[in-house]
Every structure is written in C-alpha cells, then in structure tokens.
Structure 1
Amino acid sequence: MALFGKNRYSRNTGASAAAYTPKKSFGQRIKDMVLPKGKRKAVDPIAPTSFRVLRSRPYGTKYTPGLDTTPVAAVVTATPVTVTPAPTPAASAALAASGSSSGDTKKTATEAQKLKQLEETTKNIPRYLFRACSPTSGGGLKGLNTINGVFPHAFVDTNGVRLPNGGNKSIHDIPYQVTRRMAVGHLSGQRPARTDPTYSQFSSWAATLALVLQYGYSRASQGGLICVLDRYNLPKHTKVYHCPDMMKAGLCDSPYDHEYLVHGPVEGPGFKAVTVQSLLDMGLYTEIPCVQPHSARYWWGPIPQRDWESLFPAKEFSQKQVKALRNIANEFGKDFALPVLAALVTLDRRKLDKNGKFGDKDLKIFADVVEDLYIPEEYGTEKSIVQPDGVYVQGYPMVAQLVGLLKQLVEYNYGRGVRARRRIEVEDLSAELGALGLPGKKSLDMGEKAGRLSTSFAFGVSDVPVAVVA
C-alpha cells in the first residue's frame, strides 16, 4: 500500500473514492476562518522521506566478535536526512570558481555552540594517525592519494592537479547542514557531482595501526600506501576530528569510533607515506602475523579484553625483533621512526605487570634501540602522543599499549631514575679510567660539581664529553 502521493487513499474505491476530500488540518481550518479567501494557501503536500545508507561494515561498540568466528555480515542502517535542493548551474559555476560553498554560512546559536564544542575536542586528538590507501581509493580519481600527500576530492581537479582555491579553509566557512551532508556522504562512500557543495573535503584516518596494515595488505599490488600524519606539523588550516565527537555535534549519524576525519590537504613535514610492497619485502607481515588479512581478527572496531587475551598470547620484547622493526620504521624517516616503531611493537599483546605497565627489561630493550632518536618530553605531559580522553582506549588494547609505552619511555628519559642510572654509568667509567691509570671517581665528582660533567640524559642529544680534571 502506497503511503505517500496520489495513492495515499487508494484503499477507497468506487464513487466514494471519487468524492473523497482529505480532512483539513486544525491549522488550515483556523486560517480559513481568519484570512480572506484570496490569501489562503493550500496545505503543503506530504513529501516522501529521503534516506541515506551508511557504510556497511562491522564497527562500533555494538560489534563484539566471538573468539573463533569471522566478522559477521554488516548491517545496513538507514538514517533520514534533510533533503537539500541541488544548486543551479549558475551557483555551481560560482562554487567551482570561488572554491567556497554556496548558501548562507550563518549558523544558528545552537549550531555555532556545537561547532565550538567540537573544536574543543580537537585538543585531545592523537598526535599521530595512520591511513591505508591506493590510487584506486576514493573512486580512483587522480591526485587524491600520493606519496607526497593525501588530498580530498574538493582540493584537486579532474587531472589530479591541486586547486589553489579548492575546498574551504575551515568547516566554519561551510553551512552547517552542508557539512553534515558532506560528512555523512563521505562516511557512506557517496560521491556527488564535483559541483555539488557536499563534494568531500575530508579524508579518513585511524589511531589503530593494526586496522591500517590489515586493510592495506590487499592493496600492495595496486601501489598501496601506508601513511602517517603528525597533527602538530600539518598545514595551518588542516583540522582533525574524531567521528564520535562529530556525532555529538550533529555532523555524523553513527559513532565510527575507529575513524578520524581530516578536513583539508595532508602534506608537508607532517606527512609521510611508504608503499605496502616495501613493507612486505622487509618482512613486516612476517614479524607481526596478527595484521595479516586472515589472522584471528579483522580490526574494524573494539575488542573485549577477554577476547584480546584469549586470541593473542602475551609476549616479551625481543631485542632481535625490536631491531628488525626499527629498520622497517626507518622507512618513514627519522621524524616518524619513533612513533611508528612504538606502534609496531605494540601490535602484539605484551606482558604487563598488575598496574598495566611494561617491565624494566622490555622498556630497556626498547630504549636502547631508539637511543639515537629524540623523544619529546611533552609525550608524557598534556600534549601526549595519545590523550586517554581523546581516543577510545577501552576496546583498543593496541592503542592503550602504545600510550603506555611512550609515557613510560618519557619517564625513563626524564624521570627520577635517570640521574641514578647516569651515576652508575659514571662510576663504571670511573673504574675503567682508574684501571688505565687515569683520574677516578673523585675527579669526576669534582668535574660534575664544577658544571663540566653532564649526567643528564635525553635521546637525540649527545652527552657532553667527560672532562677529566687534572
């Protein structure tokens, strides 16, 4: 039975159907009594609801796989959205020429408040995010995913050339409802016409490297890339948003809690990409079998702790493995070698103490392998590599391990135990000097008090040579 349009009352037949007149609403009857006949307007016809189908795959907090099961079939969710008329040819031309979205950019007080709260959440976004892509991603259009950067659809032309005025500088320059339709369309894989205001200005990223590596494995032969971004070194106007936060702001209609949307181009010193094939050739997928496509789990969402413990046995650090993974992490350059290595070694489930911390032995193995790299002290402060409040650590044990390792590494570098460890090293050096007939510990102590001996320790900064006091 049709519910809308001319057939809404098709259940009436014969003469009664021909004579049937829809009952007027209470509001229309009031208008008939108050307004003159010439100014009365008919009741607007009922329009059918429009639906948008979201990306169908098992993710989110409701997805809880069994221990020995493959991912369940995806559930297609239909969500009503507001229908926005297509722009006129003239408006489309103006949009393409100016790079700005059509329509009034003024927002209601509620919409402005939601966007303000959304911007506050960006302070707790992980510093480093990962992405797998290939030249076929995003519909196979040219110039979107390259070794030099990731560029959303609206920022390149049909030949893959950067548009100087492509897209908008900020989502605040776009009408609120247009941003919503753009985000929903991006997440559901829809690609409107290039001249449509909702043509995507986003790219998708993840904090979980396991998901990225597993997703990228099948794209090795297609020129697939594994990308990493440093949020602190992105272009000025490029912003990162977590999908659950966008949902709270009314810009998403499902909590894609593994996914982050980046608005604007991702390029420059805050970006690095390596081909999947090179990682395969270096043995990454052999070193960490859990990220192979046919391993125990496909990482499209959170995993209960008991499933994590049942699927993966806890492993201690191996100096041989950490060194092998360091060679692979070096492919991402010195600026990214540390976070990539930390993410790689925490893909396996590691042995932690009752407080959820890495043991001294494992921590020392990792610290020794990265002793030539600079470790920012802010990794352990409010500018942490991953803020616990800014990422779904619950259900993402690999990310939780990454957070813990880097925080402990900061403590290892700059914490209370540093001076004691350096004191032991100085004493060992003093004994060796004494055995060679050179000044011993007393002279070294005098040199330290005089400011000529450094016992401070920070990776990436060479120690001050020991000054031997005559």
Structure 2
Amino acid sequence: MAASHYRGASLPETELSSWAASFAVALRFADGEYGPRGRHPHLAVFDTQALGNGVEVWHAPQLIGRGDHEYLAHGLISGEGYKAVAVADLEKAALRELRDGELAQEEVFAGSKSVARLFGEAFAMPVALALVTWVPRESWTGVVAILVEGAVAAGRWEEVERQGTLMRELTDYGHGRSVRQREFGERAEERERARVEEARVRESGDGDCEGIVEMEVKKKKSGKKGDDKGSGYDDAAKEYREP
C-alpha cells in the first residue's frame, strides 16, 4: 500500500497521507498537482505528539526504501495538533517572497512572523523558525545569469555574496592552487605515457632492427668490391648504429 501510494496509483486504495518536513516541498505540490486545477490548496502542519495514539507517522524510506523528502501518516489527523491555512492567505503574508529570497535581511524576520502568525499560537514559533532558516538555493542558471548581465543590484546582498564566492572559486580554478595541481597531474601523465611508449618500442622494435642490420651486413660482405649496392647497405647499417 505504501509503494502504491507513493507512485500515485489508484489501487489499492490508500489509507495514508503524504507530508513533508520542508515548506519548499509542500509548495512544489501546491504549485504543481493542485494549484493549476482551480482548487484552493492549503498548507498544513501537525504536532506528532498531540494527535493521540491513533496516528502513526513514518519516514517514507522506512517503508519503501526511497522518498527522503516525504513522510507517510496513517490515521485521522485533526484536533488541536493540526492546523491548515490557505496558500493564498500565506502568499499575502509574504510566503512567496520568503521562498524566492526577495526580502532584505532585515525584512526576513518580519515576514516570517507574519506568515507564522496565521498558524496560531501553538505553531507560530516552530513555523517561524522553519521560515527563518529557509535558505533559497537558486539553480546554476540563475547564478550564471548574474555574470552574463555584468551587473549586480546593490540592494541584493545575497547576490553580492554569491557572486563573490563564485568568483573566488573561478579564480582558484583558473589561476590558483587548483590549476597548478592539474598541471602537475597532466605532466606526470605525459611522462608516464612517454615511458610506457618507450618501453613498448624497445621491447617490440629493437630485435627486428638488429636482424635487419645483420642481414644488410651479410649482403654487403657477399657483394663485389666497389658495388654501389653494397656501399648503400653499409651506409644504412652505419646510420642505424649512430645515435
């Protein structure tokens, strides 16, 4: 049943509900499967210690070996240990701005309190802490776009800090210790390849060359005096012996 629920299959009918420990994961589901269909998604939180003995919660990998982002609950979740708030109301209280990192540092605390207050007194503190520690992680495409544009907004301290870190890494990769280590490694590989090739040529080629020289010398000895052909063989043997 747990595996079927995780895959979204209709059979067997599930008795489980899906949960996450991250607002980011919950919002992905709200934006994806439910948001565009004209429904009114809610974000809910619950206290596992206040739901009574009839509810069991498992981390998905405990049951199906995958799904680190998901928790599975069995039982009726309701009462004082449960609170759901419409996503539209959370957005009005700055949830999207918190998610997208659009608030200045001094505005993050006020925005987090505004959102957390909607979940009631029992959940205000844990929700606020979750939001304050919610660090946006943009894709590499967004980071590259900052460099392509050639400018950084002075008021966006996150971008300034990110670009500084990125430029330090790029400088070290192209000019610092990293490039020296790569050069040493490449030179060592070239020397090793040359040594192996030299050994291979020595093992496979020297015997053949010696045989050719020996044959040429014998032909020279059997040739007549003043024979141009014999002289040519002698020159060939001499060239081989000379370094």
Task: Give the alignment's TM-score, normalised by structure 1.
Answer: 0.27
1:332 aligned partner: 119
2:26 aligned partner: 212
1:189 aligned partner: 8
Output the CA distance in 2 between the equivalents of 1:235 and 1:201.
Answer: 17
Output the CA distance in 2 between the equivalents of 1:333 and 1:183.
Answer: 32
Which letter maps to 1:185?
A: S
8 Å CA contact 2:100–2:136 kept in 1: the answer is no
8 Å CA contact 2:94–2:114 kept in 1: the answer is no
- What is the CA distance between 1:186 and its match in structure 2? 0.9
2:40 aligned partner: 223
Which letter maps to 2:87?
A: V
8 Å CA contact 2:101–2:136 kept in 1: the answer is no
Q: Deviations over 1:285-336 (max 9, x none)?
A: 0233169xxxxxxxxxxxxxxxxxxxxxxx9x93432022201110000100
Output the CA distance in 2 between the equivalents of 1:222 and 1:229.
Answer: 22
- What is the CA distance between 1:214 and its match in structure 2? 2.9
Output the CA distance in 2 between the equivalents of 1:259 and 1:224.
Answer: 18
- What is the CA distance between 1:184 and its match in structure 2? 1.5
Instruction: With a CA cutoff of 8 Å and minimum separation of 6, indicate the structure with the bigger relative contact order.
Output: 1
8 Å CA contact 1:234–1:266 kept in 2: the answer is yes
Name which of 297, 320, 323 aligns with 2:107: 320
Structure 1 pair 225–349 and aligned structure 2 pair: CA distance change class (3 A)? closer
8 Å CA contact 1:326–1:341 kept in 2: the answer is yes
Structure 1 pair 269–332 and aligned structure 2 pair: CA distance change class (3 A)? same
8 Å CA contact 1:235–1:268 kept in 2: the answer is no
Which letter maps to 2:92?
A: D
Q: Deviations over 1:45-82 (max 9, x none)?
A: xxxxxxxxxxxxxxxxxxxxxxxxxxxxxxxxxxxxxx
Output the CA distance in 2 between the equivalents of 1:276 and 1:217.
Answer: 10
- What is the CA distance between 1:199 and its match in structure 2? 2.4
- What is the CA distance between 1:222 and its match in structure 2? 1.4
Contiguous gaps of at least 5 residues in structure 1: 1-181, 193-197, 247-251, 292-314, 351-470
Output the CA distance in 2 between the equivalents of 1:320 and 1:283.
Answer: 10
1:286 aligned partner: 97
Name which of 213, 223, 237 aligns with 2:54: 237
User: Secondary structure, in 3 states, of the residue corresponding to 1:245?
Assistant: helix
Looking at CA atoms only, which structure, 1 or 2, has the larger radius of gyration? 2
Structure 1 pair 208–184 and aligned structure 2 pair: CA distance change class (3 A)? same
What are the within-5 Å matches in structure 2 for residues 413-452 of structure 1? none
- What is the CA distance between 1:284 and its match in structure 2? 1.5
Structure 1 pair 290–184 and aligned structure 2 pair: CA distance change class (3 A)? farther
Task: Give the alignment's TM-score, normalised by structure 2.
Answer: 0.50
In the alignment, is residue 272 of structure 1 matched against residue 83 of structure 2?
yes
Give the structure with the larger helix fraction.
2
Q: Deviations over 1:243-280 (max 9, x none)?
A: 1112xxxxx2x411111110111111111000011112
Which letter maps to 2:122?
A: D
Q: How many residues align?
A: 134
What are the within-5 Å matches in structure 2 for residues 73-112 of structure 1? none
Q: Once superposed, what is the RMSD of the aligned Cα atoms? A: 2.5
Percent of residue pairs bearing the same amino acid type:
33
8 Å CA contact 1:329–1:338 kept in 2: the answer is yes
Structure 1 pair 290–185 and aligned structure 2 pair: CA distance change class (3 A)? farther
User: Secondary structure, in 3 states, of the residue corresponding to 2:26?
Assistant: helix
Name which of 51, 54, 68 aligns with 1:257: 68
Which letter maps to 2:50?
A: N
Output the CA distance in 1 between the equivalents of 2:52 and 2:10.
Answer: 25
